[in-house]
Amino acid sequence: MYAIVDIAGQQFKVEKDQKLFVHRLEVEEGKKVSFDKVLLIDTGSKVSIGDPVVKGASVDAKVVSHLKGDKVLVFKKKRRKGYQKLNGHRQYLTQIQIEGILEKGGTAKKETAATKKEETPATKTIATKTTAAKKPVAKSTAAKSTVAKSTVAKSTAAKQPKDLSKAKNPAAKAAPKKESGDKAE
């Protein structure tokens, strides 16, 4: 049996008798604490999923100790500027041990054939709007595509020059070519 629970803004997968480190809690060492933001509970035979939390479910834990985490070095540097900055940080943590997972009023969400067929009124209206919107769009896009093809053909024909050799070489346009049979006198 396990649960996914939100503890101090982070989500953890917890089991009974598990020890874990969480952000510092404002509870004395040796005291018990209960977490109500249970997002999922899996008992092995059934799964309870919260919407967003499982109603009535909680996770009980015991605070083992308060401590500081490992040191993390933060080094900043700007090259060729002579700027270097070194900072250290140690996170305040609390070690807890999970004592139990309680599922009081949790409901199991299992997909069956009856729940798959059942639609809410909101999903029905969305489905009808999307199908109704698709049919006219398909007709209008077919009409637009024929118009677009003809305009594309006209615009490409207008943009291309008639004689590519004259367009690329301006000297050939200004002076006509001399024929090999004519002699210059």
The reply to whether 59 and 148 lie within a common domain is no
Query: Two tokens at 77?
Result: 């540097």
The reply to whether 91 and 127 lie within a common domain is no
Query: Does 20 or 152 have the greater pLDDT score?
Result: 20
The reply to whether 99 and 41 lie within a common domain is yes
In contact, 81 and 64? CB cutoff 8 Å: no
Whether the predicted pLDDT of 7 surpasses 60:
yes
The reply to whether 93 and 124 lie within a common domain is no
Tell me, rounded to whole angstroms, the distance of Cα 112 from its chain centroid: 29
The reply to whether 71 and 146 lie within a common domain is no
* Per-residue pLDDT, 125: 42
* Per-residue pLDDT, 104: 78
Give the range among 28-32, 57-61, 66-70, 140-144 with minimum mean pLDDT: 140-144
The reply to whether 145 and 82 lie within a common domain is no
As a whole number, mean pLDDT of residues 180-185 equals: 59
Strand partners, 15: 2
* DSSP-based three-state secondary structure for 89: strand
The reply to whether 9 and 98 lie within a common domain is yes
Contacts of 86 (CB under 8 A, 6+ apart): 73, 74, 75, 76
**Maximum CA pair distance of the chain?**
118
54: containing domain: 2-105
The reply to whether 12 and 90 lie within a common domain is yes
* Per-residue pLDDT, 113: 40
pLDDT tens digits, 126-180: 444 444 445 555 555 555 555 556 555 565 555 655 655 555 665 555 556 566 6
* In-domain check, residue 66: yes
The reply to whether 130 and 61 lie within a common domain is no
Give the range among 78-82, 111-115, 130-134 with minimum mean pLDDT: 111-115
Strand partners, 68: 92
* In-domain check, residue 173: no
* In-domain check, residue 75: yes
Number of domains in the chain: 2
As a whole-number percent, the residues of the chain with pLDDT over 70 amount to 56
The reply to whether 86 and 155 lie within a common domain is no
The reply to whether 99 and 126 lie within a common domain is no
* Per-residue pLDDT, 159: 62
Strand partners, 10: 7
